[in-house]
């Protein structure tokens, strides 16, 4: 059983990997360093006049996001207060029980 968990068995697969410096960044990034977008990418990023009629809802979306953010803050605050209130209630009950035991 001890042979299953010996150090030589656990780390034998790591011995074949030579210890070198940090790995080159090119292995992690497919594009490499920053490359200026080409003509096609720039054309795709420009505003399309045919799609302007669909952007009329932008103000309402921003307003809905702000309302959602405010509601999230409100819910988190309410939950935090509820947790605090329950903890104080439990502590008061514990103090009351310990006071009756001492007297």
pLDDT of residue 100: 78
pLDDT beneath 70, residues of the chain: 1-33, 55-57, 103
Residues with Cβ within 8 Å of 36's Cβ and at least 6 positions away in sequence, in order, are none
Locus of tokens 């920053």: 34
Q: Is residue 72 a contact partner of residue 65, using CB atoms and an 8 Å limit?
A: no
Q: What does DSSP assign to residue 50?
A: G
Q: Is residue 37 a contact partner of residue 45, using CB atoms and an 8 Å limit?
A: yes
pLDDT of residue 5: 54
Rg (CA), the chain: 31
């Amino acid at each position: 059983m001890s042979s299953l968990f010996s150090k030589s068995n656990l780390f034998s697969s790591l011995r074949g990997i030579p210890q070198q410096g940090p790995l080159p960044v090119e292995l992690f990034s497919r594009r490499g360093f920053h490359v200026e977008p080409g003509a096609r990418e720039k054309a795709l990023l420009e505003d399309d006049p045919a799609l302007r009629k669909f952007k009329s809802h932008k103000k309402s979306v921003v307003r809905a996001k702000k309302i959602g953010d405010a509601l999230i803050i409100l819910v988190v605050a309410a939950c935090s207060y509820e947790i605090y209130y329950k903890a104080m209630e439990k502590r008061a009950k514990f103090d009351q029980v310990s006071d009756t035991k001492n007297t």
